[in-house]
A and B are shown apart, each in its own frame.
Chain A
Amino acid sequence: MVNVENTYKRRNTLMSTNIRKIVIAGVMGALSVVLSVTPLGFFPMPTGVSLTTMHIPVILGAVLEGPVVGVVIGFIFGIFSLLRAAIAPQGPADVWFVNPLVSVLPRLFIGITAWLAYRATRRIHEIPALIIAGIVGSLTNTVLVLGVLGLLRKLPWAGIFGIAAINGLPEAGLSAVVTFVIIASWKKIETRRKGSSI
């Protein structure tokens, strides 16, 4: 009986956004895991190297619910990419990812930079802000992961720049498009094209 009153008091202090943040972080983390174990997360490219999309849930979470949620989703993404590289490796690069410095640390920053980019440009217009957030978040992933690999001397710097250009730029474009489409349809932002909303 006493608890009811306590609960009621606490309810007023704790905002309901807190629950939403927890749930969004959990579900987007799960989505990132699902993408990384199914072919859905890998867009085939003519060059043979697939574009990965596992960082997009991190960007979405950060844009929708703020940087803390972004960091948590990034952490789940990073831990799972470490686990996947260790338990079910698919290529030589996976051996490098069995190092938290490569697989976890860079991913914590995706959400922060994407949120900052979104926050800074939102005032101008919502649509370019979403696109910029997608690009910045994706590039953070590419640059930091490859940067750590370079610092650990796993790859020569010339190769790193090659990968960044061939894989990182299309990945940034893809994540910009997906971020924009999903959040625009979710927030029901008016675009010029009229069509179905999801």
Chain B
Amino acid sequence: MTKRTEFELFTKLSIGQYMPTDSIIHRIDPRIKLVLGILLICAAVGLGSVLSAVLLLIAVVFGLLLTRVQLRLAFTALRPVAIFLIILALIQVFAVPRLGAEDEAIWQWRFLRVTHESITAGVLLILRFVVIVLGLSLFSFCTTTTELTHGIEHILRPLQRIGFPAHELALTVNIAVRFIPILMGEAEWLMKAQASRGADFGYGTRRGFFRRIKRLFPLFIPLFAQSLKHAYSLSEAMEARCYVGGRGRTHFIRLRAKAGDYIALLAGISVICTAAMIYFFHMDQLIWSMWKTLIRGGIH
């Protein structure tokens, strides 16, 4: 591997990549993948029960297995943050009891107290994070950006009747996605241009704070101005080609959900509903207490 210079910005971009394995998951309608992805994130954030988080985790891992992408790839995103995650979870374990002090302590040493509630909070923190990261990798492995924009537009299309600009919003997302590499190249080009004029970007040791900020300005301001220029020339070009927005527009690609897509939707929603039911009806406490009586029964 060649050594990276400070000018190469592209390598820093490590968003989840598309993996063209053409599995069952790849062929699911992008609308359904989008809906399920959003529901998954909401469920992972909103449901405060360990059992439902485990259920979601199992579902996501099952989905990853179905994509036939190496499971290792999905987990690599977790590696750099694993230590932080464990530290944060430990903080939760020791800090939560002070917020809700009624719970009985399992273990106590001076001011350190561990309760059921605090362990739950710590475990939940890790599980939530893992579920969301794996869910996002699953989505990015099997959805191209084109599919994503089509999906957004098709989902929002019913709202167009009440005046919601679905097509416009999808176009905005599309423009943003297309412009990221362009602006990235622009930034790199500007850095090289300024460096060739003898600019030093203040990577050195501490000097004056304002001086350092001043040094970054010749880079920063042209980047903003260039992107504004790009935006205005693009809008002029679109106008010159008689672009008139989404009303009355027909599409080259039409998304039609097939039976398999509905099955996938049903499966996803049933998993999320089960997880929600576990949380709202406190089924995990039931299972937990059953587990406790089982253990006690074993001891006595």
Contacts and interface: CB of A to CB of B under 8 A. Distances in A.
Interface in B25-52: 41-42, 45
B176 A27 contact: yes
Interface stretch (A43-51, A114-122, A138-146, A161-169): A43-51
Contacts of B223: 31, 40
Given A19-B235, A23-B238, A92-B84, A37 B172 contact: no
Contacts of A94: 81, 84
Interface string A1-37: 0000011001100101011101111111111011001
Contacts, number: 178
Contacts of A100: 41-42, 45
B102 interface: no
B6 to A, nearest CB: 8
B176 A30 contact: yes
A26 B171 contact: yes
B252 interface: no
Interface stretch (B7-15, B278-286, B289-297): B7-15
A129 interface: no
A10 B247 contact: yes
B277 interface: no
A112 interface: no
B176 A87 contact: no
A33 B206 CA distance: 27
Contacts of A20: 231-232, 235
A186 B231 CA distance: 13
A14 B244 CA distance: 7
Contacts of A43: 212-213, 216
Given A16-B239, A95-B88, A26 B221 contact: no
A58 interface: no
Contacts of B216: 40, 43
B224 A31 contact: yes
A101 B223 CA distance: 30
Contact of A30 (B133, B183, B222): B183
B166 interface: no
A7 B212 CA distance: 53
B114 interface: no
B248 interface: yes
B68 interface: no
Interface in B223-251: 223-225, 227-228, 230-232, 234-235, 238-239, 242-245, 247-248
A23 B235 contact: yes
Contacts of B227: 27-28, 30-31
B125 interface: yes
B262 interface: no
B88 A182 contact: no
A110 interface: no
B222 to A, nearest CB: 6
Given A14-B245, A16-B239, A23-B235, A40 B220 contact: yes
Given A44-B202, A100-B41, A26 B238 contact: no
A86 B221 contact: no
Interface string B163-187: 0000011011111111110111001
A178 B230 CA distance: 19
A94 B125 CA distance: 13
A23 B13 contact: no
A88 B175 CA distance: 23
Given A40-B220, A94-B81, A98-B128, A26 B239 contact: no
B187 A182 contact: no
A90 B12 CA distance: 12
A109 to B, nearest CB: 19
Interface string A156-198: 0000000000000000001000100110011000000000001
7 contacts: A11-B244, A20-B235, A22-B235, A37-B9, A40-B187, A53-B220, A185-B221
Interface of B: 9, 12-16, 41-42, 45, 77, 80-81, 84-85, 87-88, 99, 125, 128-129, 132-133, 136-137, 140, 168-169, 171-180, 182-184, 187, 202, 206, 209, 212-213, 216-217, 219-225, 227-228, 230-232, 234-235, 238-239, 242-245, 247-248
List the 6 closest A-B pairs by CB distance, nearest first: A26-B175, A30-B179, A27-B231, A29-B176, A89-B81, A23-B235
